[in-house]
Each structure stands twice: as C-alpha cells, then as structure tokens.
Amino acid sequence: MLIEHYDLDVFTPPCSPGAERFSAIARLTADISEVLPYLNATLRGAIYYRAANALTWKKGGHNLAFHAYQIATSNVEDYDAAVKEIDGLIKLINRTWERRSEITPDTETHQRPGLMAVYKLLPQTNCKQCGEPTCYSFAIKLTVSQKKLADCPPLAEPQHAEKLAALQDLVSDAPAIG
Ligand code: SF4
C-alpha cells in the first residue's frame, strides 16, 4: 500500500471568504510522484504536468490536484464530505499503484477536448435522453468527464456513426477506470 496515513486540512478558499463550500488538502507521508503517470494513463480527462510533478483531474464537481506529498480537492460540503472524498482518492491511488504492472505509464500532457468541437459532433436535437436539458450542457459535462458518450443514446444510431467515432477519438484516448 502506497499511502497509509494523511493529515487533513479543511478550509474556506482564500478567494471566497464566507463561502458555504470548502476546500481540503490531505498531507501525505508518502511520495506519490511515481504513481502520477499511471493515473494519467487511466483517468479520463486528467492533465499531467511533468515539469511540475503534478496532475489535475475534475470529478463529480470537484477540482482535484495531486502533488508529490499532497492531494487537494475543491467544493466539499463539510469535514465529513472531505474525508469521504479524500479516502476515495487514496483508495484510487493505492489501487492504481498495486496494478501498475498492468498499466503503461503516460508522461504526456493531454489537454481536454475543446467544448465547441465536442458540441458540434453531438446530434444537437436537445432530446434530453442524457438527463441534460441541452446537447450543449451535455458537451460541458462530457469534456470534464462527468458524462460518458454512452449516456447519449442517439449517438448509437447508424446515422451518427462517423460523429461517434470522432468523439471517441476526442474524449476517449485515456479510458476511465472504475
Ligand atoms: S441525449 Fe444526446 S442528443 Fe439528446 S440532449 Fe443529450 S446529448 Fe443531445
């Protein structure tokens, strides 16, 4: 197990004094630098900055940042929510580290696909089958990995096959892990 202990700080972001949501930083006793390229290879939408030895990722409305000895998350409700979020991330890191022999590490920096490029490839019917009010709002969530292509049923129809293939190239070059 790579991470066994951490200390947690939960605080109001300095730019939003009085905010009702909090940020949290877990300070680690283990250096997680070596696991970052494996996370980069497996977390869809992650961005790895090799020179800075850091990786960022958006998940479930949280902006996450992984550094050598710390993990930070934004937008948590309270201390308990912060513990739950950080515990989940630590399990993810430990599980990825244990599986590293099955993963090809990736040290490239992959930018997120452009919002308009993604939107233009969607059916643009605003049918709401994805649970979003418009294709544009679906595109926003797709680019930050809060939705999957499979959440848009019309994309599976034959007339959208070419657009689906293009979208798979744009948003699925680093498949998410469970
Ligand atoms: S299911 Fe697809 S086509 Fe329908 S609104 Fe959502 S993104 Fe648009």
Please indicate whether residue 86, judged by its CB atom, sits closer than 6 Å to ligand 1: no
Task: Please report, rounded to a whole number, the percentage of residues in the chain having pLDDT higher than 70.
Answer: 92
Asked if residue 138 and residue 89 are part of one domain, the reply reads: no
Regarding predicted confidence, which is higher, 106 or 19? 106
The CATH number given to whatever domain includes residue 140 is: 1.10.15.40
Q: Which domain holds residue 138?
A: 115-171
Express each pLDDT in 127-141 by its tens digit: 999 999 999 999 988
In this prediction, residue 146 has a pLDDT band, given cuts at 50, 70 and 90, of confident
58 has pLDDT over 70: yes
Compute the average pLDDT of residues 55-81.
91
Residues 98 and 10 in one domain: yes
> Which of helix, strand or coil describes residue 16?
coil
Residue-wise over 117-148: b if at least 16 C-beta within 10 A, else e?
ebbebbbeeeeeebebebbebbbebbbbbebe
Does position 173 have pLDDT exceeding 50, yes or no?
no
92 pocket-lining for ligand 1 (C-beta < 6 Å)? no
Same domain, yes or no, for 85 and 33? yes
**Residue 171 CA, ligand 1 centroid: distance in Å:** 16
